[in-house]
A and B are shown apart, each in its own frame.
Chain A
Amino acid sequence: MTLLKVENLDFGYGRRRVGSGIGFDLAGGDVMCLLGPNGSGKTTLFKTLLGLLPCQGGRIVLDDEPVALWSRRRFARAMAYVPQTSPNSFSFSALQTVVMGRSAHIDLFSRPTTHDFAMAKGAMRALGIEALGSRPVPELSGGERQLVMIARALAQEPRILVMDEPTANLDFGNRVKVLGQIRKLADQGIAVILSTHDPDHAFQIANQVALLHEGRQVACGAPASVITAESLRLVYGIDVSIVAVSGKATQHWVCLPDSRLSSVQESL
């Protein structure tokens, strides 16, 4: 069943148009990967989806209802945002940070209750970071901080998660872990929209890919149909081969740049 419908969306800042004609459907359990080079409008599109910027045209429909007139509170119960973490933040503890995700469920004049703290801890447990509870967020590693932000979004009990480059600035191990968690959340029925710079991530966890180029949606559909040598050449201006690789337990498509990057290439 369709959860989120984005219809012919135009977006931008004030009078400046950044992109137009975006359209896709999302159901629970879908993972949609937004690909596009720097400056293609990914972040602006996210801000528009989240209602942080007004739509310049088209509409966003959630549960068969246009969201334009929804209150922030109601909207926040349906859609949560995992921003790229900024390193210079207040020294809130991880648990205090996660419990902030409950704000859309807490009465205006109240503070979080035992139930809210239980929900926050549950979200942390689901991501395996309950031990971080009392640690100040700025002292956490990049990967831990990213998981705290995801936990905060989960505490919001959303049906849709919007994640802005969740794997940016993460080391290889944390990247794999975070991607694994995203896949797990989707398997539990949450719809996920994420942006990434790595088309391989789309092959790994997404069942839908939207390719953005200069504010326009070049293609949208299953990863294998969208991520092709032609589309990547158009969008990124480089030649790649899409090849299948097999590991011990998994098999993936990966994008391999055709240009020779180094003169000391090891022969296979």
Chain B
Amino acid sequence: MTSEPMSAAVPEKTAALPLIISAVLLVVVVVASFRMGRFPVTSHDVFAVVWAKISGGTASVEPVVQAVILNVRLPRVIAGILVGGALSVAGATYQGMFRNPLVSPDILGVSAGAGVGAVLGIFLGWSVLAIQGAAFLTGLAAVAGVYGLAMTMRHQERTLVLVLTGVAVATLLEAALSVMQLLADPYTQLPTITYWLMGSLNAASPEDVMVAGPAILLGLIPLWILRWRMNLLCLGDEEAQALGIQTTVFRAIFIVSATLMTAAAVAISGAHGWRGLGWVGLIIPHIARLLVGPDFTRLLPISLMLGAAFIVAMDSLARSMGVTEIPLGILTSVVGVPFFLWLLTSMRRVW
């Protein structure tokens, strides 16, 4: 109704700054993380060793330091990046798709399902890798069950039914978890179970990274390719369909992708529900949305990097703050919650 020139609204240009900030933050956090821990390592050592690894040369760094960097800290840093990135991206996906800011990646029962698998594995005395495999598979199975169950219900409010089914099934799985905790040997198994459910990266090994990495990437690729279409699902089914979108197909793709990422992340970190690491998938997308708005093409990379940076930072603190390692899940809550509440009080909009 006025003829004033349009203000800068082309997304590509305004997205650059938050993107750069997030990337720089991630790099700084990662380098710092290599330095933190019992064994002293300098930034120079980190760069030299990583560069030598990439270029195929040799670094003039003590073998012990090289071993610490490559075998101890590198898997942990990569695991942190994978877990933080995966949970945040999955959280952003679920929140958009279900049009609900309270949704976290475990809304469809991934982490409760993974918990059952992991605890069963601990209960039966399996190896660490087998426990993680069991967690991954039961996590996927839980979501598949929820999705299948919801699809059999002929109901108008499909999304709502899906979420409610997820909550119901997760509750049932939680009950199973409690039973197993009750039956577990209180001196040998129970501490392991409790520790697993709190979430931690202290068991992260190169094998974990090799297994979880591809699964997380496999989930990320469809989300990345279809990132603009994700915006349309935020409108709700009918509007999206009227705009020419096959919502059923896209929703299934997004759920499978986000679930794959979450299950893999939960399997190696034990991120369980809102109590532990899963919380990251709830808050990081909100922080990212605050920075760049709801456009998924911008939200996806920012969530990925902020989530990765947050978990890597928290994990560094977890292993260097006390005499014994502090469970990561506790730290993410203690540091993350006050920050998030502060954000909420200063935010103009939640969406």
> Which residues of A are at the interface with B, using a C-beta cutoff of 8 A?
13-14, 47, 50-52, 72-73, 75-77, 80-81, 83, 86, 89-96, 100-101, 103-104, 106, 108-112, 117, 121, 128-131, 133-134, 136, 138, 152, 156
User: How far in angstroms is the closest Cβ of chain B from A152?
Assistant: 8
**Complex contact A131–B245 (CB within 8 A):** no
Q: Does any Cβ of A come within 8 Å of B54's Cβ?
A: no
> Which residues of B are at the interface with A, using a C-beta cutoff of 8 A?
1-4, 6-11, 96, 99, 154, 156, 225-229, 231-232, 234-236, 238-239, 241-246, 289, 293-295, 297, 349, 351
Cα of A77 to Cα of B243 in the assembled complex, Å: 8
Chain A to chain B contacts (Cβ below 8 Å), 27 pairs: A13-B156, A52-B238, A52-B242, A72-B241, A72-B244, A72-B245, A73-B244, A76-B244, A77-B244, A81-B238, A81-B239, A81-B242, A83-B242, A89-B351, A90-B99, A91-B294, A92-B294, A96-B293, A100-B235, A101-B243, A103-B229, A103-B245, A104-B244, A134-B6, A134-B7, A136-B293, A136-B349
One of A75, A94, A121, A152 near B244 (C-beta < 8 A)? A75
Contacts of B99 in A (CB 8 A): 90
Contacts of A52 in B (CB 8 A): 238, 241-242
Cα of A152 to Cα of B232 in the assembled complex, Å: 12
**Complex contact A50–B2 (CB within 8 A):** no
Cα of A76 to Cα of B236 in the assembled complex, Å: 16
Contacts of A95 in B (CB 8 A): 9-10
Cα of A128 to Cα of B329 in the assembled complex, Å: 52
Cα of A13 to Cα of B232 in the assembled complex, Å: 24
Q: Which residue of B lies closest to A109 (CB)?
A: B225
One of B10, B241, B349 near A91 (C-beta < 8 A)? B349
Question: A51-B241, A103-B244 given. 4 additional CB < 8 A pairs?
Answer: A95-B9, A110-B228, A131-B4, A133-B9
Contacts of A100 in B (CB 8 A): 231-232, 235, 243
One of B1, B96, B297 near A131 (C-beta < 8 A)? B1
| Residue among B96, B226, B243 with the highest chain A CB neighbour number at 10 A | B243
Cα of A76 to Cα of B240 in the assembled complex, Å: 10
User: How far in angstroms is the closest Cβ of chain B from A105?
Assistant: 8
Contacts of A50 in B (CB 8 A): 238, 241-242
User: How far in angstroms is the closest Cβ of chain A from B288?
Assistant: 13
